[in-house]
Amino acid sequence: MDKFGLELAVKIHEGDINSKRDKIAVVIHWCLLKKGLSFSGIGDNFSNDDGKLTEILPANWNQSDFTWKYRELKNKPNKFILKLFQDGEILNAILVRLSDEVSKDFSVDLKKDLFNDVELAGGKYHLVKEDDFLQKVFDALLKDFFPEPKPAAIENPERTRQPPIQPPRQGVPRSPFENPDPLRIEPRIGGRDLDPFGNPMGGGMIMEPPGRGGRHGGPGAGPRFDPVFPGMPSPGLGPHPGPGRGGPRGPGRGGPSGGPFGGGRNFGDELPPPGYDDMFM
């Protein structure tokens, strides 16, 4: 227990300590000082108080009724009255807070082994098990008036070293080809072409662009055939379909061509027939 100032308080008033009651009164006085109270005068009437606060009892503190006034330094409206009275060998202490008239009391049996009899002749009245006695005074008189502050929660240092967990981004498919920039949330453009196997929306090209021999079908890759005359069959695409029927690339200029989706049309970029001259072609 922190007993800083107790020895000084007892030493200052030691010359006036003539009984066990005097010694206990000085010790309780120090307990009140420890909790932030200051002595304001003798008696219970604050109207004649001169406003002076001190830590030292006046010269006649043990020659009158043991009724003392205290004020709280941190909360000046709060006024306290300490009263000690003895009934036989029982010493009673009562502390009253005037703001709400709440009182606490504490009793001491002077016949018990509370003091060291060897030092009685010297007038010191040394307390036996002083720490236990002080704790009883604090618990009985002051604990409810001045509750101990709750200790602050100590954060786990191991927890502070761990990086914060980032919440998953909603609505964005995850891919190994996704842009690692944290400021961009959309997939990188062209990621499907570079991720032929892992993309859940369907892969892109493996060896060729889609529609040119890739996974999505379409005419295969190779050199484009330009016919010399209309209906000329393309080499490698089978025999001529016969008169009146278009070849694989369609009948004449801009005709429809084959393909699984009916696409792949040639929009007039084949070579014109010999001798054909059309400036608007």
DSSP for the chain?
---TTHHHHHHHHGGG--SHHHHHHHHHHHHHHHTTEEEEEESS-GGG-----BSS--TTTTSS-SEEEEEESSSTT-EEEEEEEEETTEEEEEEEETTTTEEEEEEEETTSS-B-GGGTTTT--PBTTHHHHHHHHIIIIITTTSPPPPPPPPPPHHHHHSPPPPPPPTT----TTS---TT--SPPTTHHHH-TTT-TT----SSS-TTTTSTT--SPPSPPP--SSTTPPPTTS-S---TTS-BTTBSSTT-----TTS-----S-SPPPTT---TT-
Q: CATH assignment of 6-142?
A: 3.40.1000.30
The model carries a pTM of: 0.55
Tens place of pLDDT per residue across the chain (281 aa): 899 999 999 999 999 998 889 999 999 999 999 999 999 999 999 988 777 899 999 988 998 789 999 999 887 778 999 999 999 999 999 999 999 999 999 999 988 767 765 555 445 688 888 999 999 999 999 999 998 888 776 666 666 566 667 666 665 555 555 555 555 545 555 555 565 565 555 555 555 555 554 444 445 555 565 666 666 666 655 554 454 444 444 444 444 444 444 445 555 555 666 776 665 55
